[in-house]
Amino acid sequence: MSTAAPTVHPLDTAVKVARLHLLDRVAYLLAPAAGLLFAFTVDAIIVGMLPSGDRGDHSVGGLAAICVVAFVIGLQSITKGLSFGLSLGLSRRGYYLGTALLAITFAAVSGAILTVLRAVEGATGGWGLSMRMFRLPYILDGSWYEAWLTSFVVLTLLYVYGCWWGLVYRRWTLIGMIAFAAGQVTVVLAGALAATWTHSWSDVGHFFTTLSAVGLTGVLAAVTVALMAGGFTTLRRVTI
């Protein structure tokens, strides 16, 4: 049997890879919704128990739930999906581009949902409890599009960070994960030492204290791009 070499369009492939991941509805629909709902319920109960004399808004950390979900589904997109994906005649590049496209889509849609919930929270006086789950001070209290942008970047970052952990695990297992964690600590330590030696701690402090939420989002976007590059470089060496 000989057919002409099929022309493979990168975007077409990326969309198919994203659909491949989305076949797992539990991970992409149920887990984020359930995580968010559970965290919201817990937070609402806790805020509801506070003494009534306690005035002012109550900031809660329920959004950590969706952050954890983003990281875990990023991790699973590799640990559970990579072997099957590559068995379907995909190149590593094709698989990674499709997975990154899904990360971006997932973060954009989730960010939009968070932005809507943020508006509802604002309109209902914090769900009638003065609760701030979706309007976190500093990070998410700007305009709606700033809040969406920040949510989008943070969720993309966590997803692709999860991917990278998954890739390191697939390629080098436990020892690799320990080395990967140690490597990251070393990078932070090197930064701290550099700041000490160049006597620039006050500049660092100044940078972060004056950084706006949008500025922080920009820094995180740069980190996201670096994590994607790292993940892709690792994937090129992964065998299954």
Partner 1 sequence: MTPTIAVSGLTRRYRGHVALDDVTVDFEDATITGLLGRNGAGKTTFLRILAAQEFPSAGDVRVLGASPIENDAVLRRMVLIREDQSYPDIRVGHVLRAASWFYPNWSGELAATLLRAFDLPAGRPVKKLSRGMRSAVGIVVGLAARAEVTLFDEPYAGLDAVARQIFYDQLIADYAEHPRTVLLSTHLIDEVAGLLERVVMIDRGRVVLDADADTVRGATTAVSGAVPAVDTFAAGRPVWDRRTLASHASVVVGSPLTDGDRAWARELNLTLTPLSLQQAVVHASAGAAGERAEGSHA
CA quadruple 61, 65, 66, 69: dihedral sign: positive
What whole-number distance in Å separates Cα of residue 2 and Cα of residue 57?
Answer: 69
Q: Is 13 in the site for partner 1 (CB under 8 A)?
A: yes
Q: Is 83 in the site for partner 1 (CB under 8 A)?
A: yes
Q: Which is nearer to partner 1, 27 or 133 (CB)?
A: 27
- Orientation of helix 64-79 relative to helix 144-197, angle to 10°: 80
CB of 171 to partner 1, least distance (A): 12
Q: Is 16 in the site for partner 1 (CB under 8 A)?
A: yes
By CB under 8 A, which span of 19-27, 49-57, 112-120, 131-139 interacts with partner 1?
19-27
CB of 31 to partner 1, least distance (A): 11
Q: Is 24 in the site for partner 1 (CB under 8 A)?
A: yes
The Cα-based distances of 227 to 52, 134, 154, 220 in angstroms read 45, 26, 12, 10
Q: Which is nearer to partner 1, 5 or 123 (CB)?
A: 5
Q: Is 206 in the site for partner 1 (CB under 8 A)?
A: no
Q: Is 90 in the site for partner 1 (CB under 8 A)?
A: yes
Count interface residues toward partner 1 (CB under 8 A).
33
C-beta separation of 32 from 66 below 8 A: yes
Q: Is 174 in the site for partner 1 (CB under 8 A)?
A: no
- For partner 1, the binding residue among 35, 74, 94, 162 (CB under 8 A) is 94
CB of 39 to partner 1, least distance (A): 23
Q: Is 99 in the site for partner 1 (CB under 8 A)?
A: no
Q: Which is nearer to partner 1, 84 or 138 (CB)?
A: 84
Q: Which is nearer to partner 1, 123 or 175 (CB)?
A: 175
Q: Which is nearer to partner 1, 21 or 118 (CB)?
A: 21
Binding-site ranges for partner 1 (CB under 8 A):
1-3, 5-8, 13, 16, 19-21, 23-24, 26-27, 76, 80-81, 83-84, 86-94, 236, 239-240
